Amino acid sequence: MGGTQQFSSATLIASANASYRLPLIRNFPQRSTFLVNPNNKALSLTTTCAVSTTQDAQFTENNTRRSANYQPNLWDFEFLQSVENDLQVERLEERARKLEEEVRGLMKKVEIEPLSLLELMDNVERLGLTYKFEEDIKSALNNRIVPLLHHHTINKYGLHATALSFRFLRQHAFHVSPDVFESFKEEGKFKKEISGDVLGLLNLYEASYLGFEGETILDEARAFSATHLKNLLQTNQVQNKVIAEKVRHALELPYHRRVHRLEARWFIERYEQKEAHDGALLELAKLDFNMVQSVMKKELQELSRWWREIGLTSKLDFVRDRLMEVYFWALGMAPHPQLTECRKAVTKMFGLVTIIDDVYDVYGTLDELQLFTDAVDRWDVNAVETLPDYMKLCYLALYNSVNDTAYSTLREKGDNSLPHLAKSWRDLCKAFLQEAKWSNNKIIPPFDAYIKNASVSSSGGALLAPCYFSVTQDITSQAIDSITNYHGIVRSSCAIFRLCNDLATSAAELERGETTNSITSYMTENGTTEEEARESLGKLIDQEWKKMNRDVVLESAYPNVFKEIAINMARVSHCTYQYGDGLGRPDDTAENRIKLSLIEPIPIN
């Protein structure tokens, strides 16, 4: 690949609160009139929106090309290639192995109390070490915790232990009933005496986010715990500063919806501040974080060379140059060090998504976009001849990269993923084209029609498809069909991706003349204010999480490692769009998250 093209052989509730701080849609066309079809067909905008008409100086005959005026890349090629990576890995690995066995010994102690075991496993997980102790945790849950929960004897250890055990079992795909919380209720309500139990309430709050649809006791648990935790903070009743910070952190966004690699960096610092912490566990967490970061720096440098070689951002000045942000997304989806090939595939696919999305959203005419969609549909290298010059670059980069990804899978595993990867891109480009048609014709579609198309246009399917082939040993037609047709956990993750994106980017999209997003569709169809629409979309995100939680436990088509990647895509969506558009318009917060995750190692004395 490169300059010489080569061809391969082959809610939200808590989290919604963050969304409310995002810029509201300014100048939504309230002065405009909408042509409403009585059969609830698409709504056509009949007057011009009050939008910015900023344009760049690029012209094609009589057509003025738009520009999104994206900010320059914050992480240039020279910087990425110069990132220091001088860890003495062999020496650190030897020390880490000794510490790992020490921690494993603690976990296997027969005399360890259930609550102490749960707290140890919770610390292991939050410190980013789950992948090292996966089997140990499952064994401990099976042999020590499940019997206690099954017989409801866990309750004698209190709300803290009960909620922690419930969350752990749900996270690790155990089918456990929320009825374990009934003993903390009386007369249909949670007991008043637990309203001052900070750790118990915090863990009840965190556990409530593992709920399925219809589990009303967990909805009640969330409302109850959130109310009392906020009250305890406001009245300064949480004396321990570390615990108070953990409560604020959880209320902003619960652990279940956070990017776990970034969370590990955050938690390591708080764990060290605890008066009673395990020195071996803390040292292991620091060493492991830095060693894994070293692996990812090498991956990032390799991918930056690939990104420079394909040369799209140097040739197309209207697109986002966001390799670093895209790699951070891949890291969020596949954080464990052994998932290198998965991260590389996601980075390449998502990097191309950002370019091609800008072609559809910003630069291309409808006629050109139809040509490009047809070319991708054919998936034939000769289709490049039908395209304008700037699209030829995009098409060949896409064609080569997808074919190379499929070739790697075929070489390593013997599975031909190309038909399925190509289908994910066909579907994606068709969804992009539909949105471009709506926007070009000033049509605001019905909300359901928008969401159905938008779940595909989120690009989640094009990211998850190569992940499945990368991490799965036994490929099944059932799973492939479920992925490529957006069923179950894939559909929910893609919907969350799109809704988080829309909540953050709608204002900028309207400014450049786009009228198609979930907020405008919902507002127009339901006659609501923007705030009401945002609240409703937050609740919809919450519903999708509940469906996804259920699929993690009950869906058998996918291996657990792929389920986790799908969940992680929803998590990194929350992270990227929590305070704004962290992909299109990254701010200081987005930059700092990347530094902490990928650039700056943890100091070790």
Residue 140: name the closest of 159, 165, 173 by CA: 165
Q: Which residue has the tokens 């066995």?
A: 101
- The residue-averaged pLDDT of 378-393 equals 96
- Where does the pLDDT of residue 513 fall: very low under 50, low under 70, confident under 90, or very high at 90 and above? low
Q: Does residue 59 have a pLDDT over 70?
A: no
Q: Report the pLDDT value the prediction gives residue 5, as an integer from 0 to 100.
A: 35
In angstroms, the CA 221 to CA 215 distance is 10
Q: How large a percentage of the chain has pLDDT more than 90?
A: 76
Residue 502: name the closest of 478, 474, 488, 522 by CA: 522
Q: Report the pLDDT value the prediction gives residue 91, as an integer from 0 to 100.
A: 85
- Least confident range from 218-222, 313-317, 385-389: namely 313-317
- In words, the CATH class of domain 90-286 is mainly alpha
Inter-residue contact 9 to 407 (CB < 8 Å):
yes
Q: What is the DSSP letter of 24?
A: P
Q: How large a percentage of the chain has pLDDT more than 70?
A: 88
State which H helix or E strand residue 566 sits in.
helix 560-576
Inter-residue contact 225 to 201 (CB < 8 Å):
yes
Q: Could you say which of 2.40.160.60, 3.40.50.880, 1.10.600.10, 3.40.50.360 is the CATH number of the domain covering 311-599? A: 1.10.600.10
Distances (CA, A) of 129 to 52, 122, 292: 48, 10, 11
- The residue-averaged pLDDT of 548-576 equals 95
Q: pLDDT tens-digit profile of 108-130?
A: 998 899 999 999 999 999 999 99
Pick 25 or 306 by higher pLDDT: 306
In angstroms, the CA 199 to CA 164 distance is 10
- Contact partners, residue 292, CB within 8 Å, separation at least 6: 128, 337
- Where does the pLDDT of residue 489 fall: very low under 50, low under 70, confident under 90, or very high at 90 and above? very high
Q: Does residue 19 have a pLDDT over 70?
A: no
In angstroms, the CA 464 to CA 441 distance is 31
- Where does the pLDDT of residue 232 fall: very low under 50, low under 70, confident under 90, or very high at 90 and above? very high
Q: Does residue 224 have a pLDDT over 70?
A: yes
- Least confident range from 53-57, 267-271, 557-561: namely 53-57
Tokens of residue 67, six digits: 């520009």
Q: Report the pLDDT value the prediction gives residue 48, as an integer from 0 to 100.
A: 28
Q: Report the pLDDT value the prediction gives residue 521, as an integer from 0 to 100.
A: 94
Q: Report the pLDDT value the prediction gives residue 31, as an integer from 0 to 100.
A: 27
- Least confident range from 133-137, 392-396, 601-605: namely 601-605
User: What is the pLDDT of the chain when averaged over all its residues?
Assistant: 87
Q: Does residue 45 have a pLDDT over 90?
A: no
Q: Report the pLDDT value the prediction gives residue 155, as an integer from 0 to 100.
A: 86
Q: Where, residue-wise, is CATH 1.10.600.10 in the chain?
A: 311-599
Q: Report the pLDDT value the prediction gives residue 505, as an integer from 0 to 100.
A: 85
Q: Where, residue-wise, is CATH 1.50.10.130 in the chain?
A: 90-286
Tokens of residue 513, six digits: 């003349």
Q: What are phi and psi of 24, to 5 degrees?
A: -75, 160
Q: Report the pLDDT value the prediction gives residue 64, as an integer from 0 to 100.
A: 64
Q: pLDDT tens-digit profile of 147-178?
A: 988 777 888 899 999 999 999 999 999 999 99
